[in-house]
Amino acid sequence: MNPSFTAAVGYATTPQQERRAEPAGELHVHWARHDEDVKAAQRLRFEVFAQEGGAELAADGARLGLDIDEFDAHCEHLIVSRAESGDSPSEVVGTYRVLLPDAARRVGRYYTEGEFDISRLDGLRPGLAELGRSCIAAPWRTGGVILLLWSHLIRFLHDNGVQQAIGCASVPMPDGGANAASLWRDLQQHLAAPERRVVPRIPLPVDLLPHADSAQWPPLVKGYIKCGSEVLGPPAWDADFGTADLPMMLDLSRLNPAYRKRFLGS
């Protein structure tokens, strides 16, 4: 269901992509100000999730080449775009969305609740945000866009008085789930305390899956752990996206000091 918390990126990054330089062009970051901004983000999401990843998206939006769901109208959308350069027009190369606590109350639930029972987090709801639907265009998955997204997201959460944010980190499963099962094994040391654990509605059968010798960590998972985030429980199976989704929580009070200084200046 949710390719978020990639989603920065839930899709796989190959060694070739990690070594490849990003395309030239000045990058700009802004929060969506009107419908056309949101549509540009939804168009990139469609290209990455459906055309590249094969996800089954809502038909109404898919006919328009957009990834749309009921939460979009209630979210703030962060956009990274490449400025027009020479013969290359401006293009959106990265996006993330944030559901703030007040907006979550208006909607009546978090997207994450479609995949997990989060009732143990009920006491946090008044200040709990949700991050999701993040993606980056293929040529830009070498780190710079991810850092831009993260720096603006953390500043935005801080400025809006948000202490915790939840979301799902998606792990692709072209190998039948071996990497996802191995990654779950590696993440045991980063598990939240029992009182913060959530329960997948459709658990990924990690005990029945083969395990890789060493797990390949998606950039998003790696980024959250480096920031000091917790894993809230075992992964869920997302049939629409064909991914294993890990429930994550970013707590700004536990932000890695180096990242706090980098993103917040204190």
Q: List C-alpha distances in Å: 95 to 59, 116, 147, 177, 201.
A: 21, 24, 12, 27, 27
**Topology, domain 15-264:** Aminopeptidase (3.40.630)
* CB half-sphere exposure, 89, CA atoms < 13 A: 2
Q: Has residue 13 got a pLDDT over 50?
A: no
Q: Which of 21-25, 29-33, 60-64 has the highest mean pLDDT?
A: 29-33
Which residues, other chains included, contact 250 with Cβ-Cβ below 8 Å and sequence gap of 6+?
Answer: 131, 157, 164, 165, 166, 167, 224, 227, 228, 229
What's the burial of 138, exposed, middle or buried (CB within 10 Å: 0-12/13-18/19+)?
middle
Pair 196, 168: CB distance under 8 Å: no
Q: Has residue 222 got a pLDDT over 70?
A: yes
Domain edges within the chain = 15-264
Q: Which of 84-93, 106-115, 205-214 has the highest mean pLDDT?
A: 106-115
The pLDDT value recorded for residue 90 is 79
Q: What is the mean pLDDT of residues 60-72?
A: 93
Q: Has residue 245 got a pLDDT over 50?
A: yes
Encode pLDDT of 142-183 as tens digits: 778 888 899 999 999 999 999 999 999 999 999 999 999 999
Q: What is the mean pLDDT of residues 25-33?
A: 90
Encode pLDDT of 70-98 as tens digits: 999 999 999 999 887 666 667 999 999 99
The pLDDT value recorded for residue 133 is 92
Q: Has residue 99 got a pLDDT over 70?
A: yes
Least confident of 82-86, 184-188, 212-216: 82-86
How far apart are the C-alpha atoms of 65 and 180, rounded to whole Å?
Answer: 29
Q: Has residue 218 got a pLDDT over 90?
A: no
The letter for the amino acid at 113 is E
Q: Which of 72-86, 102-116, 128-142 has the highest mean pLDDT?
A: 102-116
Question: What are the structure tokens assigned to 129, written together?
Answer: 């945000």
Pair 74, 103: CB distance under 8 Å: yes
- Mean pLDDT score of the chain: 88
Give the pTM. Answer: 0.88
Q: What is the mean pLDDT of residues 57-72?
A: 92
The pLDDT value recorded for residue 141 is 83
Task: Provide the pLDDT confidence category of residue 2 given band limits of 50, 70 and 90.
Answer: very low
The pLDDT value recorded for residue 23 is 56
Q: Which helix (H) or strand (E) holds 201?
A: none
Task: Provide the pLDDT confidence category of residue 104 given band limits of 50, 70 and 90.
Answer: very high
The letter for the amino acid at 106 is R
